[in-house]
Amino acid sequence: MQVPKPKVRKKILDSAIDEFLVVGYRRASMRNIAQQAGITVGYIYAYFSGKADLYETIVAPVMESINSLIQIEASEGTPSLETIADTVTAVFLENKKQFLILMHNSAPKYTNVRGQLIDLIRERLIIDLLPKLPPRAQDSLLAEGLAVAILEGLLNIFHRYGGDEPRLRILVDEFLKIIFNDIDTRFK
């Protein structure tokens, strides 16, 4: 039995990240991952028990950060939208490819992560936004629609910001200001 080597493990992880990012979890192939890493499929199993283990290893840092954000709600109440956006942006910047894999190409076990973030944003909107609206518009479905739009808007910015971190932070900040400035001025 060969002793696992950090460089080989890293090559496997890097190849798997690229594979999951391009084709998603379901279509990812251990054969393609091995080929990209320049090793045999069997050699991957010296490091990982299978595709699910490999995937979990890749998304673990992102999941830990997202779970921390979700746990804030349980312990301290729903965090502000600014806190949510800042945290999601920071998690993205720390693990760009892994974050995008989790949001768009998830393994079945993780398909609810996106929904959990939408729920977190929706709850904040129910607290901050709905009371400012006319009674006829105080509907949680409106908060849910906006939550989906906010998360999708953030993900679109993450995909297309071009690697310029200061630009990303400005875009996220301005995106939220535009959305909520309009809401604040329309319903005062």
The domain made up of 1-48 is a member of CATH 1.10.10.60: yes
Query: For each successive 10 residues of the chain (188 residues), what is the average pLDDT?
Result: 75 96 94 95 93 95 86 65 87 93 87 89 88 90 94 94 95 89 53
Check residue 4 and give its pLDDT. 61
Check residue 163 and give its pLDDT. 93
In whole angstroms, what is the distance from residue 151 CA to residue 85 CA? 9
Check residue 133 and give its pLDDT. 87
* Inter-residue contact 22 to 10 (CB < 8 Å): no
Burial of 36 (0-12, 13-18, 19+ CB in 10 A): middle
Check residue 73 and give its pLDDT. 58
Check residue 75 and give its pLDDT. 53
For the chain, what are the domain ranges? 1-48, 59-186
